[in-house]
């Protein structure tokens, strides 16, 4: 057994802020790895210093093989297990090969400066993600922290908040937390005019929505007006019922077959930051509208593929065993349900909606073979009729939902 890789969290206060045990690990190392900025924070020693190459992750196996048998210490910013290199190393080497000595995270330090309860404050990382990723976390009178990519992130966040009806929100940008050059900038999103500050910063947002701003929660059933496109979508009442049948949980993967406007996949991903989705759509114009809606509603990582089932083989391995499949279009396409069923993992859920007599009849056949639940929804909406209000019926929707119990294919 070789010594484990020791990962030491280090803050902007550098060597002075390290515990005695963290210092001992750095001093005893044969090899110290980290960014150039982190390596500059520790005193000179006989250890070999290795600055991270770019791109980093593909190079890691070779780096550790090169220094096999030596005592290796890795420097990380703050808490290595909080959006840090520690997570990457555990995934690569295993938890038994990595020992972590954490430092207070930037989020912990930010909450300490602001007097916010850390356990009640959500954190959204924009370090390697588009700024649109922030959207699902926004809500009137909520507080959250944003981990910035660089010094330009605060202005991008202020612009996003203003565009999405959260212009009155209070922003506090905390730079170089814990270090001798720690800084603070305050303002509102709509009036943000500060020049870019430190590259290392955390943004605290005290959200305030403008009067009349569209209210978008993580719960299923967003208003139809939240989506743009040609109107090809599962309407919000049926969408809410469909998402409940699909039953998303953190970390699960959905395949949305017949994406239309992307409503089901988008709402699936909004329920939890770890939920992922793939949608299939044959129309190029609708692919564009799905991509646009996904970005606007804060899930820009939604993967969009072409015509089902031909495009099933294009899905990358980490998304190829769906926990749930929704079929909202093409139910009567020859062999489509069979292909979906064969891809669904055992224990996964399949939900299919039908609005035509032919597709409804097919769902009845599958129900007779596989069981599950068969429902029919009829929604009426009150609309003006002269000086009165009348009930206008929407198209009835038949829905079949089932949990796959075995690997068998329906005959």
Distance CA 69, CA 71 (A): 7
Residue 326: the pLDDT is: 98
Residue 411: the pLDDT is: 40
Closest listed residue to residue 206, CA positions, set 174, 177, 239, 170:
170
Question: Residue 55, SS3?
Answer: coil
Residue located via tokens 């292909």? 339
Closest listed residue to residue 164, CA positions, set 224, 207, 223:
207
Query: What Cα–Cα distance (Å) separates residue 289 from each residue in 74, 104, 335?
Result: 44, 42, 27
Provide the 8-state DSSP code for 46: S
Query: What Cα–Cα distance (Å) separates residue 378 from each residue in 163, 300, 397?
Result: 36, 32, 7
Please answer whether residues 406 and 346 qualify as being in contact, where contact means their C-beta atoms are separated by less than 8 angstroms.
yes
Note the pTM of the prediction, 2 decimals.
Answer: 0.90
Buried-state track 313-324, b at ≥16 Cβ within 10 A, e below 16: eebeeeeeebbb
Residue located via tokens 């093989």? 65
Question: Residue 59, SS3?
Answer: helix
Residue 232: the pLDDT is: 86
178 contacts: CB under 8 Å, gap ≥ 6: 11, 12, 13, 17, 104, 109
Closest listed residue to residue 246, CA positions, set 229, 269, 223:
269
Listing DSSP states for 305-320 in one string gives E-STTGGGGGS-GGGS
Residue 101: the pLDDT is: 97
Query: What Cα–Cα distance (Å) separates residue 85 from each residue in 55, 328, 374?
Result: 13, 40, 48
Residue 408: the pLDDT is: 59
Distance CA 89, CA 95 (A): 8
Domains of the chain: 5-104 (3.40.1010.10), 107-207 (3.30.950.10), 224-404 (3.40.50.150)
Backbone angles phi, psi at 398, to 5 degrees: -90, 140
Give the DSSP H/E element, type plus range, for residue 26: helix 20-28
Task: Show the tokens assigned to 388.
Answer: 């009165």
Instruction: Name the stretches of the chain with pLDDT < 70.
Output: 1, 407-411
Closest listed residue to residue 259, CA positions, set 215, 309, 304, 192:
304
């Amino acid at each position: 057994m070789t010594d484990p890789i020791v990962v030491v969290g280090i803050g902007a206060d550098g060597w002075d802020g390290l515990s005695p045990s963290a210092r001992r690990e750095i001093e005893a190392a044969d090899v110290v790895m980290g960014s150039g900025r982190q390596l500059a924070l520790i005193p000179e020693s006989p250890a070999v210093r290795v600055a991270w190459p770019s791109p980093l992750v593909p190079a890691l196996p070779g780096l550790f093989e090169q220094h096999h048998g030596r005592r290796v210490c890795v420097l990380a910013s703050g808490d290595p297990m909080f959006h840090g290199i520690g997570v990457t190393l555990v995934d690569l080497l295993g938890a038994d090969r990595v020992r972590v000595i954490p430092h207070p995270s930037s989020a912990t330090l930010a909450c300490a400066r602001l007097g916010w309860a850390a356990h009640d404050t959500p954190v959204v990382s924009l370090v390697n993600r588009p700024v649109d990723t922030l959207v699902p976390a926004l809500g009137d009178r909520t507080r959250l922290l944003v981990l910035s990519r660089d010094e330009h992130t605060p202005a991008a966040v202020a612009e996003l908040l203003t565009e999405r009806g959260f212009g009155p929100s209070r922003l506090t940008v905390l730079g170089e937390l814990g270090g001798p050059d720690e800084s603070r900038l305050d303002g509102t999103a709509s009036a943000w005019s500060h020049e870019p500050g430190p590259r290392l910063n955390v943004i605290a947002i005290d959200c305030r929505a403008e009067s009349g701003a569209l209210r978008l929660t993580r719960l299923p059933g967003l208003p139809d007006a939240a989506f743009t496109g040609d109107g090809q979508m599962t309407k919000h009442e049926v969408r809410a019922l469909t998402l409940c049948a699909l039953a998303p949980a953190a970390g699960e993967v959905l395949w949305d077959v017949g994406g239309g406007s992307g409503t089901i996949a988008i709402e699936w991903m909004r329920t939890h930051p770890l939920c992922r989705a793939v949608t299939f759509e044959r129309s190029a114009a609708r692919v564009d509208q799905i991509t646009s809606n996904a970005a606007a509603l804060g899930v820009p990582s939604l993967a969009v593929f072409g015509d089902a089932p031909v495009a099933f083989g294009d899905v990358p391995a980490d998304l190829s065993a769906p926990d749930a499949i929704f079929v909202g279009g093409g139910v009567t396409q020859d062999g489509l349900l069979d292909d979906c069923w064969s891809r669904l993992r055992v224990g996964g859920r399949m939900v299919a909606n039908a609005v035509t007599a032919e597709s409804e009849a097919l769902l009845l056949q599958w129900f007779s073979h596989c069981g599950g639940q068969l429902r029919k929804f009829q929604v009426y909406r009150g609309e003006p009729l002269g000086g009165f209000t009348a009930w206008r019926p929407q198209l009835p929707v038949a829905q079949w939902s089932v949990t796959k119990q075995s690997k068998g294919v329906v005959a």
